[in-house]
Structure 1
């Protein structure tokens, strides 16, 4: 056990003691907002404390509940939200735990915003959470490993969420092609998709069916950054590109980690040819993290990138110049972001 561990254990004991004293003196009646942040030093032995705090504070009338832990082994006690305790919750933010709601719990009808980060659940469990959330306006899912991404998950898009306005989906799991959707997200205005996947066969053009289900969508941010591009390149198969139907509300499209993948080029060309309201298109190649900067007269260089990544970035730029730039209407502002030329020397294709 090092000095840092000892300090963290002492902080954790002090935190548990103070919170325990405060909440045990409180009846729980009248609590509107509860935030528990133990993300820096939560351990498995703290679960009994967290359970007791939630039992005290999560009562009918609570409107905001935030629980930030650091271990997915903690199982959020969903039963606490039954018997009316969850019906008033408008904002639910869970981090670093498992969440296993079931269809037998008809609660959370007042939800307007849900944020789940590093939370374990399945598509069916997400469906159980949201099936009665008709007021939901904002949904943020980040690094939720068990979720099937870009079915996004498929269960999510089968639900009726008529008031959803912003959806932010970030998953590290496998991708499957987006299915034709039966639901309509009439008020969804901003969609952010950041799949973190090891599957390279995804057909990006299948996202057109998702956009078709979002007639009010104005902003789409798609982050497809991956170090290894194994999809069919537009230069390998330059045959006719697929087309989709027209859209009239989209104003801003941003694609991060742009490559020469044919389906990605097809999707981008679709936006230029079929989205009549498009104003801004940003295509950004794979970038170093961190990037170079000047601070206090000190220059920090970009983190090195593998040569294969730089070569694919160059192919992506060539695909933009060859297939995309000629189709950019005069009213659309195209912004192309290359890898840092100062830190990454030009490579041959």
Structure 2
């Protein structure tokens, strides 16, 4: 008896010797043969990674496999189907509790990827998974309203990623503590927000997630301790509002894309810091800068740096800014932190957007275009002029700048 069954092209020895279409059909035939000759008794884990089998798999295959293998002792189920137009309206009767009475009662973890399951069938399925602790839905595009019932008393982890039709996520699971969401901002609510402690919201292909996180999350998850958010663009600067993240300790903000935040006021991110009195670690990826900053502090002849009156951080110990550039608003944000954070111990400013890590692995830095190198050198000059003098002796400052060995003579400061 084999309690853990995983089927994928990567794990199917010998299949790579055949053409792609034949390889997919051979895998389906092999899975069919194995499962038909398996009693299903004792199987605790079933993983069907069939994303490359669009030419061979049918609804009959999936449903028959579930019928053969899924027994009351199964604890983990993962199904990754191909994205194929031929599988439109892929039947999901294999997930209907009426056909699998009692078989889902021990299920602890479910991951459905590209499974065209409807809201109704998913709701019926979840109503029979009383022990479920982890639920992941990826590219399940038949769901518009995702409702997680309160009877899922043990559910602690929920992931909803790239389910393009989802407009509302409404969870009443009382023990939910970790939530991951990848897609544009939508309406999200938790029945008992006090237990949600870790949230990751990724909108790296979409815009508006920073605004959403600042204005909506304090009321959605009042006891949040760790927040990671990504955004491809922001139509507005981050507002200063009274809502607080009273328990937030770890904050990571990633502003994604090349030159997509050229008009953004980085200083407005102080709104997150001001709202998070318990914050201990702050990470900011300020984007990739392949063009010179028009708002560079080096080109501004006058004007004092902005400060938020009364701002003070007494718990913040570590700050890392990747993609540090010469934008005045980013220099202002850094200065605000340095001058009002007596607890600060470590400050890392990376002007290379992490490209220096390539040197560690390959012995050679990632290629940077001339304007990107020039902007990185401008950033180094800006921090030497406006930041270094404000660093207390108790703070360890680490500056990553373009490697002189790999980029010597390729750029100039402007």
TM-score in terms of structure 2 length: 0.70
1:202 alignment counterpart = 264
1:215 alignment counterpart = 277
| 1:177 matches 2:243 | no
Q: Does the 8 Å contact 1:36/1:66 carry over to 2?
A: no
Q: Identify the match of residue 199 of structure 2 among 121, 139, 153.
A: 139
Deviation at 1:90, TM superposition (A): 1.5
User: 2:240 and 2:351 mapped to 1: Cα distance?
Assistant: 29
Q: Does the 8 Å contact 1:149/1:175 carry over to 2?
A: no
Measured against aligned partners, the alpha-carbon deviations of 1:64-96 in whole angstroms (never above 9, x if no partner) come to 112344xxx7233645634x4556422012333
- 1:61-100 alignment runs, 5 A limit: 61=130, 62-69=132-139, 74-76=141-143, 78=145, 81-82=148-149, 84=150, 88-98=154-164, 100=166
User: 2:142 and 2:215 mapped to 1: Cα distance?
Assistant: 22
User: 1:256 and 1:22 mapped to 2: Cα distance?
Assistant: 47
Q: Does the 8 Å contact 1:254/1:282 carry over to 2?
A: yes
Residues 1:108 and 1:11: Cα distance change in structure 2 (over 3 Å): farther
Deviation at 1:236, TM superposition (A): 1.7
Residues 1:190 and 1:291: Cα distance change in structure 2 (over 3 Å): closer
Residues 1:172 and 1:282: Cα distance change in structure 2 (over 3 Å): same
| 1:151 matches 2:211 | yes
Q: Does the 8 Å contact 1:27/1:56 carry over to 2?
A: no
Measured against aligned partners, the alpha-carbon deviations of 1:142-172 in whole angstroms (never above 9, x if no partner) come to 2454451321445434524222111110122
Q: Identify the match of residue 66 of structure 2 among 23, 28, 31.
A: 23
| 1:58 matches 2:126 | yes
TM-score in terms of structure 1 length: 0.81
2:392 alignment counterpart = 329
Deviation at 1:135, TM superposition (A): 1.2
Measured against aligned partners, the alpha-carbon deviations of 1:268-291 in whole angstroms (never above 9, x if no partner) come to 011110011000000001246585
1:248 alignment counterpart = 314
User: 1:307 and 1:181 mapped to 2: Cα distance?
Assistant: 40
Q: Does the 8 Å contact 1:28/1:57 carry over to 2?
A: no
Range 41-50 or range 247-256, more displaced: 41-50
Q: Identify the match of residue 234 of structure 1 among 281, 297, 314.
A: 297
User: 2:231 and 2:225 mapped to 1: Cα distance?
Assistant: 20
Q: Does the 8 Å contact 2:325/2:376 carry over to 1?
A: yes
Range 165-174 or range 330-339, more displaced: 165-174
Q: CA RMSD in A?
A: 3.3
Residues 1:333 and 1:199: Cα distance change in structure 2 (over 3 Å): closer
1:43 alignment counterpart = 84
| 1:275 matches 2:318 | no
2:330 alignment counterpart = 264
User: 2:330 and 2:269 mapped to 1: Cα distance?
Assistant: 10
Instruction: Work out which of the two has the higher radius of gyration on C-alpha atoms and give 1 or 2.
Output: 2
Q: Does the 8 Å contact 1:181/1:210 carry over to 2?
A: no
Residues 1:5 and 1:236: Cα distance change in structure 2 (over 3 Å): farther
Q: Does the 8 Å contact 1:108/1:129 carry over to 2?
A: no
User: 2:68 and 2:263 mapped to 1: Cα distance?
Assistant: 57
1:107 alignment counterpart = 172
Deviation at 1:99, TM superposition (A): 5.5
Corresponding residue SS for 1:272: helix
Q: Does the 8 Å contact 2:324/2:353 carry over to 1?
A: no
Residues 1:277 and 1:309: Cα distance change in structure 2 (over 3 Å): same
Structure 1: runs of 5+ lacking an equivalent: none
